[in-house]
Amino acid sequence: MNRLIRASIPCHLALLAAAFSLTAASLAEEEKVTPGGPLSDTASRGVTARDPSTIVREGDTYWCFYTGRGVPSLKSKDLVTWERGPRVLDKAPEWISKEVPKNDGVYWAPDLLKVGDQYLLYYSVSSFGAMHSAIGLATTPTLNPEDPAFRWTDHGPIVQSRDGSDFNTIDPSVFQDEDGKLWLSFGSQWSGLKLVELDPKTGKRLKPDEPMTPIAAGQSIEAPWIYKRKGFYYLFLNRGNCCAGNKSTYHIKVGRSKDITGPYEAKDGALMIDGGGTMVLDIKIGTLTGPGHAGIVEKDGKSWFSCHFEADERMGGKATLGVMPIEWTEDGWPEVKPPDAGK
């Protein structure tokens, strides 16, 4: 979630807040939920959410978490009609007031994955335009609030950044490889996106003293998400600036690598660490503007690509959740085409 206009100016705290900030009122507005259209029709028209997590399935229910107070959730039986689920955190964990005192209780861009018998949910704690940030971890054995075992437990910060650093610890994305190794990618602006290895038993950093691995850099960058297919690791990410409604310049690009640590290359061979990337969804697609925060979910043997759009003209310019078909070219590159984008 972009909190900074990255530009060649002396002050690295040039804020989006003046023009693009998400107020508490706008976040509350984005938590309204209304039914969507058919699954091929971007699935979720009318469902407001910003910075959605990977959509995960437990039993017959799909779950998605997104930016808001306490990390709100959505649930669906079919990826089309959504309703609001419970928040992850009813009150702010004690560590936040000490570690990120300027945070206002809104937690950004969560992501989650089931590892063993627990769901691990990572969330960003920060403030607009700041490097003083942290990524927290909360766990639960089930996402179903009707299950007696349902209970979110917060485990404190996993990675942190401070003013004066050259990286920012927001926009977490969790990935588990076939060998059981667990990884967290994250980052926004400054020196770009980072990767660290996690301990699958705790969800925390496996070797906190080891240097972070840089995986992508360049102007206006954030929101990594890693996906593995046929021996390649695909790194989806955002470039451009968010939080500006139909003036957003957010767009999604991708590169791939044979190694999770990179180097990630675009289709034209340009390295993502040098600013490269192959376009997945451009800034403007019909009535939709500013795609961000990629994910892929499987349903009925088909793959579906999820993200938000910063603005949907059919919804009065509000952010909307999108779920669209994704296909792969013969040479292994993703293609996402919202079929109703011009309607």
Rg for the chain, CA atoms, rounded: 18
Judge whether 42 is annotated as a binding position: no
Q: Is 156 annotated as a binding residue?
A: no
Q: Is 296 annotated as a binding residue?
A: no
Residue 342 assigned to a binding site: no
Determine whether the annotation assigns residue 226 to a binding site.
Answer: no
One-letter amino acid at 64 equals C
- 241 annotated ligand binder: no
Q: Which of 136, 335, 167, 157 is nearest to 254 (CA)?
A: 335
CB atoms within 10 A of CB 117: 9
189 is in an annotated binding site: yes
Contacts of 224 (CB under 8 A, 6+ apart): 171, 173, 185, 186, 187, 193, 215, 216, 235, 236, 237
Edge to edge, the sheet with strand 61-65 lists: 56-58, 61-65, 73-76, 82-85
Distance CA 71, CA 19 (A): 24
Active site residue 51: yes
- Count CB-CB contacts under 10 A for residue 131: 23
Q: Is 292 annotated as a binding residue?
A: no
Q: Note if 222 is an active site residue.
A: yes
- The neighbour count for residue 112, using CB atoms within 10 Å, is 28
**Is 190 part of any known ligand binding site?**
yes
Candidate list 111, 222, 265, 312, residue with the active-site label: 222
Of 30, 51, 154, 265, catalytic:
51
Question: Which segments are annotated as binding site?
Answer: 51, 129, 168-171, 188-190
Q: Active-site residue numbers?
A: 51, 222
Question: Which segments are annotated as binding site for substrate?
Answer: 51, 129, 168-171, 188-190
